[in-house]
Amino acid sequence: MTVSPPPGFTQTHLIDPFEIHVGPVFEQGPKGARRFAFVVDARHVNMRGIIHGGMLMTFADAALGQAAWDACDHANCVTLNMQSQFLAPAKIGDLVEVAPVLTRRTRSLIFLRGDFTVRGEAIYSVSSVWKILGAD
């Protein structure tokens, strides 16, 4: 699907086939302080016309995964845990944004959180833990 980047954003290079299917995802800012976004379209909503929780979780995994990748200097890492709170709906045409926050890093684990917003209103919140592969 072709969607133009929102003003100030560029398209994120996604490599995971599932993420590519639900993208595009956009980003702005430098490594370690990037902001991510996507535009809700008909593929992303449920029968009631509001964003599907699974889409928010997929976007969270993609965006926080990019932040984890930045935090571990592009080492391989995987999601260990992701806790989600659904706060408000989003609809087709809305721009969903997040600026992931690194809350802690150990030798083998990365802790991230993010508040996902539409027009400045929080719609979804996530806390996640990532394992740096080979860092045991």
Q: Convert the pLDDT of each residue in 10-50 to its tens digit.
A: 999 888 888 888 889 999 999 889 999 999 999 999 999 99
Q: Quick one: 70 exposed, middle or buried, by C-beta within 10 A (0-12, 13-18, 19+)? A: middle
Q: What does pLDDT average to over the chain? A: 93
Kindly tell me if the per-residue pLDDT of 2 is higher than 80.
Answer: no
Selected residue with higher pLDDT from 135 and 81: 81
Kindly tell me if the per-residue pLDDT of 1 is higher than 90.
Answer: no
As its CATH architecture, domain 10-132 has: Roll (3.10)
- Quote the pTM value: 0.92
Taking residues 102-130, what's their average pLDDT?
Answer: 97
Tell me the domain boundaries of the chain: 10-132
